[in-house]
């Protein structure tokens, strides 16, 4: 690691901590906030006090799962091992995180751990790549993507589902296209996913049992990483026309559309790659990753695209943000 870059990152990180400290001070000395409706203040306060953001970073030498407060403070790692730990997604009660991990000489498998990083349990154990886990809203199942190698040696992605103990693994898509990145609707009845079955990546939706697979986007760009809004009315996703086979292509843009595929609106607009969006539990904000400042960092914006703010400042790759549900403290 270039020590100059590292130092610059640390100095900038200190800046973030100071800014966060300022936020806390302002809250103790309320001024403008006094004039806001009570509901608005309490909604924002709840977001800051009772939710957290998980993400992936390789700042310590290999990919680990991290968590931070929603203002970017308190960044700490939940995993600490030589494997590549990625793609965190929260259980609906916020007590567990499902993620994928690739051993140095192995393939990706799906794991669960407690939200403090304890009790790591392996759910899939096979020679295939299992990635992009998403927990069902009732807590009973986990959808994920797996690579199936066909007799022709062609690789085929499918969206699968399993119980939260890893049993009952079932292929939901059964299609020669590349089906991946499932996201449950908040009512648990549907799963949005990405498929390349019609020539380029589009967002699809299906019933949670795999029936009624339907295309929502239809354009020449690669549309990927759908995430359902907490009220079930919208789906945010990223889109790229460059055909780069990376997680967040340099031209990726974040869009939001109605859950039936109508009224697509652009949320990010710059010369960088913006992708991997995840909604806050109150639906008012979206966390995502972007390389607009030179390397991949985690950003947050209002759900209409306004007020885009950086949360991480580190020369490493910071990606895969996942906003937790509201966490109920047990006292």
Contact positions vs Ca ion (CB under 5 A): 62, 64, 81, 83, 85, 156, 158, 175, 179, 200, 202, 219, 221, 223, 295, 297, 314, 318
Nearer to Ca ion, 140 or 270 (CB): 270
Nearer to Ca ion, 43 or 295 (CB): 295
Residue with token string 């991990």:
101
Minimum CB separation of residue 178 from Ca ion in Å reads 6
Quote the strand ranges of 76-201, DSSP E. Answer: 76-77, 84-90, 96-102, 108-114, 121-122, 130-135, 141-149, 155-163, 170-171, 179-184, 190-195
Q: What is the largest CA-CA distance in the chain?
A: 67
Helix, strand, coil: what percent of the chain each, to 5? 15, 40, 45
Nearer to Ca ion, 223 or 274 (CB): 223
Cα(298)–Cα(309) distance, rounded to whole angstroms? 9
Q: Are 225 and 239 in contact (CB under 8 A)?
A: no
Minimum CB separation of residue 24 from Ca ion in Å reads 24
Minimum CB separation of residue 331 from Ca ion in Å reads 33
Minimum CB separation of residue 181 from Ca ion in Å reads 12
Nearer to Ca ion, 50 or 258 (CB): 258
Q: Are 260 and 216 in contact (CB under 8 A)?
A: yes
Nearer to Ca ion, 140 or 219 (CB): 219
Cα(77)–Cα(74) distance, rounded to whole angstroms? 10
**Nearest by Cα to 61 from 43, 37, 83:** 83
Minimum CB separation of residue 271 from Ca ion in Å reads 18
Nearer to Ca ion, 145 or 281 (CB): 145
Radius of gyration over every alpha carbon of the chain, rounded to an integer in angstroms: 19
Nearer to Ca ion, 141 or 202 (CB): 202
- Decide: residue 187, CB within 10 A, 0-12 exposed, 13-18 middle, 19+ buried: exposed
DSSP state of 35: G
Minimum CB separation of residue 246 from Ca ion in Å reads 15
Minimum CB separation of residue 275 from Ca ion in Å reads 14
């Amino acid at each position: 690691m270039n020590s100059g870059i590292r130092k610059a990152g640390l100095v900038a990180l200190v800046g973030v901590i100071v800014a966060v400290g300022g936020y806390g001070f302002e809250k103790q000395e309320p001024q403008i906030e006094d004039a806001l409706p009570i509901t608005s203040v309490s909604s924002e306060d709840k977001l800051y006090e009772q939710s957290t953001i998980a993400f992936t970073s390789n700042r310590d030498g290999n990919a680990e799962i991290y968590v931070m407060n929603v203002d970017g403070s308190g960044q700490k790692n939940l995993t600490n091992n030589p494997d590549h730990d990625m793609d965190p997604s929260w259980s609906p009660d916020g007590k567990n995180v499902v993620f994928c991990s690739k051993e140095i000489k192995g393939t990706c498998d799906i794991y669960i751990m407690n939200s403090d990083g304890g009790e790591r349990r392996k759910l899939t154990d096979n020679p295939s790549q299992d990635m992009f886990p998403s927990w069902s809203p009732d807590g009973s199942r986990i959808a994920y993507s797996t690579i199936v190698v066909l007799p022709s040696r062609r690789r085929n992605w499918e969206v699968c589902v399993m119980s939260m103990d890893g049993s009952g693994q079932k292929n939901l898509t059964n299609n020669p296209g590349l089906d991946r990145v499932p996201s449950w609707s908040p009512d648990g009845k549907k799963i949005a996913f990405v498929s390349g079955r019609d020539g380029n990546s589009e967002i699809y939706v299906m019933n949670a049992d795999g029936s009624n697979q339907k295309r929502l986007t239809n354009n020449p760009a690669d549309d990927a990483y759908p995430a359902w809004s907490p009220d079930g009315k919208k789906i945010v996703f990223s889109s790229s026309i460059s055909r780069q086979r990376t997680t967040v292509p340099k031209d990726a843009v974040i869009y939001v559309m109605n859950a039936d595929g109508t009224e697509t609106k652009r949320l990010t607009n710059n010369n960088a790659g913006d992708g991997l969006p995840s909604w806050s539990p109150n639906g008012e904000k979206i966390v995502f990753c972007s390389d607009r400042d030179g390397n991949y960092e985690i950003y947050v914006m209002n759900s209409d695209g306004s007020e885009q703010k950086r949360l991480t400042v580190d020369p490493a790759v910071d990606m895969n943000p996942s906003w937790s549900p509201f966490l109920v403290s047990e006292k």
